[in-house]
Structure 1
């Protein structure tokens, strides 16, 4: 294969000799384990084995079932599984998931609650592009649906995007948010969760300078690395210690022939998953072993707690190489957002240009991914925003997941976010209320 040019995070062309072999080896390993699991499950489920009193027969069949399910889920995009929502009228209203804006690397989708008067709170959830699908925010969506019109960024798996669609880096991500906000209009309230928080802040500042009328009413930043240097964690330590050359050499691969994006340079989902699991390998190994025992005893179910968690956790997506590399270099290493020197399409994005968008930060006291201090740093950067339009909340005892989907979100943070949204509605810009009909 001839060397190909790739636009690195620094904008300079870099030669790559990467083949598709390593990507296909990982996929082959996954398929082999899925096949081994399916074979063990089928073989040791024969009626003849029912005559055996050896417990290893049931244990082997159970191991096969858990193994097959685990490795099969790694390449499946989870369903939203949001079919209805209970309205104030006590009725179950069907939910239609509709694409509002369709783009190559991600869509803007709307959870349209049929037969219900349109809610005044219009919320754009900006989902992370950090290895998992937007369905990671399913419980967040479910909790907001009764009270809001909910839209979300539904990012696509890079392995399924043809090379001809071009690149996608942090600037493109920011411009996608800008386009989505222009489509939704100024009466929108943005909630950015984790990784996209700095880019959502940048997108708002970009609109403040380029298209003020398209700015959202409010911006809630939840557990995001606005200033990764404000409170070091393992994530930020890794970003500082590894070089860009090492990252390109060891984690970037080229999509294999099996997928539409064959030849695209990506940070593979399977490789990301291996890193996720390695961070807590003992916990995951125990969970796997416990589930095997539960299946062998007949105590497991298709939607039990283990399967609900791992069906989502194991479902990973490839990120474009340029997005991953530019995130590490520009957000974590160079801290361009934190230093207010970030540029989009050759234009400097000045956070100080935000003057009339209310901003709230939410952090978890026990967050070990985006530690307290990283997100609230945004408020100091908003030099043009009055203090009465700034707010922050530190949730005691909450970890990273809890501040947007766990008990802390449901009981404490969600009500605070809705109060913040209500306090920053521009009533004159709301659209007329209408009742949506089922098609």
Structure 2
């Protein structure tokens, strides 16, 4: 029960701060005070507005909010979000552009399960939709998943990716961003042995910790500084009674958010102070740069405890992918078995999460892959976020990735794609792009 009490205490603190912000805003905005202008009241209202918004975002999944795509006819085509495959821990989501023929490029974008929702890749999605038939992995908040759904660790994650690749067929091109890169590489190697015809046409790994020993960072150092018993005692909690996943052990998103903010505490503190001043001066906007960033950054989700712990143990501590010793259900997964899937790595020179050297290590692990099917790119001046979003991605990296995909197109076989090995509902549900898929 102590783990559940800790979880509810964190949620209580978050809820209290949200209430304090709302209360300060309401009190400072009381109509009678308008007769007596006071800068202190303006500041109080501004503090309340920023505080309420910040703490309320922490428990809300952001909308996809995908704008219409401009077709070759010059017209706007609405984008619908369709759940291609549904599962307890995540869905395979399809971005369907109405009124256009599907592009020849079919891309599966593998989003991280690292504390943020898949919507963190919204700008990446928007940049790819005009040129691709796009799918994405949309992982669920663990606190909303009943205990009866069972466990979900790194092996289950890998097998889920295998299911998605089988479903989409051999003409799909996979792009894995950050945390899922090593497991996506393992899923491809698993298919190379178990079902070679279901392998994707190409695999692009962006800023992923393939070999965590290749170039240490604060993230990899943390994985070695703490032991697993410490992590289990300090980081793992049980979901409280107010959520569907009551009793499930999780690594709470609020704890992860605290870690994110602590890494750059001064920068975040200054950003919030500046935003309070802008609100007080009346120059802030609902969709200004600050709110656009923090509405997404502060929206966090819980991870299944077994996934978090197995990631730390097997990916960071034991470096199973980097040493090619990963296994699924006791069966070794040999990355050297990949022989005809083109592999490209992308890194940024200023990436302080997955430093240069960690991701490109994937090419050395693909011992059975010819050199002409290997490629890499190091983006000068780009940090971790910049290699999949922002100017570096749009102007430099994205064109290179699309060219790599075009150079490695493979026609799908006439046979229908295989159904997922794990039970999943294949019913398709369409919802407007402006609404959340949750």
1:360 and 1:300 mapped to 2: Cα distance?
A: 41
Please state if 1:389 is matched with 2:373: yes
1:197 and 1:186 mapped to 2: Cα distance?
A: 19
Q: What residue number does 2:11 align with?
A: 27
Report if aligned partners of 1:120, 1:430 keep a CA contact under 8 Å in 2. Answer: no
SS at match of 2:213: helix
Unaligned runs of 5+ in 2: 417-429, 433-438
Deviates more, 1:301-310 or 1:339-348: 339-348
1:52 Cα deviation after fit: 2.0
Report if aligned partners of 1:100, 1:110 keep a CA contact under 8 Å in 2. Answer: yes
Please state if 1:298 is matched with 2:293: no
Aligned counterpart for 1:85 among listed residues 69, 92, 105: 69
1:430 and 1:271 mapped to 2: Cα distance?
A: 48
Please state if 1:325 is matched with 2:309: yes
Q: What residue number does 2:145 align with?
A: 161
Please state if 1:113 is matched with 2:73: no
1:331-370 counterparts in 2 under 5 A?
331-370=315-354
Unaligned runs of 5+ in 1: 2-17
Please state if 1:266 is matched with 2:246: no
- For residues 168-204 of structure 1, the C-alpha deviation after alignment (integer angstroms, 9 at most, x for no partner) is 0000000010001111111000000000000000000
Please state if 1:234 is matched with 2:203: no
Report if aligned partners of 2:82, 2:431 keep a CA contact under 8 Å in 1. Answer: no
Q: What residue number does 1:69 align with?
A: 53
**Which runs of 4 or more aligned residues in structure 1 lie more than 6 Å from their structure 2 counterparts after TM superposition?**
none
1:91 and 1:372 mapped to 2: Cα distance?
A: 41
Report if aligned partners of 1:83, 1:96 keep a CA contact under 8 Å in 2. Answer: no
Please state if 1:180 is matched with 2:161: no
SS at match of 1:150: strand
Please state if 1:193 is matched with 2:140: no
2:391 and 2:231 mapped to 1: Cα distance?
A: 36
2:101 and 2:431 mapped to 1: Cα distance?
A: 12
Report if aligned partners of 1:106, 1:155 keep a CA contact under 8 Å in 2. Answer: yes
- For residues 48-77 of structure 1, the C-alpha deviation after alignment (integer angstroms, 9 at most, x for no partner) is 111223200011011111100000000000
1:240 Cα deviation after fit: 0.9
2:144 and 2:129 mapped to 1: Cα distance?
A: 30
Aligned counterpart for 1:104 among listed residues 81, 88, 110: 88
1:89 Cα deviation after fit: 1.1
1:430 Cα deviation after fit: 8.7
1:431 Cα deviation after fit: 10
Report if aligned partners of 2:81, 2:431 keep a CA contact under 8 Å in 1. Answer: no
1:249 and 1:378 mapped to 2: Cα distance?
A: 33
Please state if 1:412 is matched with 2:422: no
Select the structure with the greater relative contact order (CA < 8 A; seq sep ≥ 6): 2
Please state if 1:55 is matched with 2:39: yes
1:139 and 1:335 mapped to 2: Cα distance?
A: 31
- For residues 381-424 of structure 1, the C-alpha deviation after alignment (integer angstroms, 9 at most, x for no partner) is 10111110000000111100000012110010000000000000
**Number of residue equivalences:** 419
SS at match of 1:330: helix
1:210 and 1:286 mapped to 2: Cα distance?
A: 52
1:326 Cα deviation after fit: 0.3
Please state if 1:210 is matched with 2:194: yes
1:275 and 1:407 mapped to 2: Cα distance?
A: 26
SS at match of 1:274: helix
2:412 and 2:176 mapped to 1: Cα distance?
A: 25
Report if aligned partners of 2:120, 2:296 keep a CA contact under 8 Å in 1. Answer: yes
SS at match of 1:229: coil
- For residues 276-313 of structure 1, the C-alpha deviation after alignment (integer angstroms, 9 at most, x for no partner) is 11111111111111111111111111111000000000
- For residues 124-165 of structure 1, the C-alpha deviation after alignment (integer angstroms, 9 at most, x for no partner) is 000000010000000000000000011000000000000010
1:250 and 1:427 mapped to 2: Cα distance?
A: 50
1:162 and 1:428 mapped to 2: Cα distance?
A: 37
1:209 Cα deviation after fit: 0.5
1:346 Cα deviation after fit: 2.3
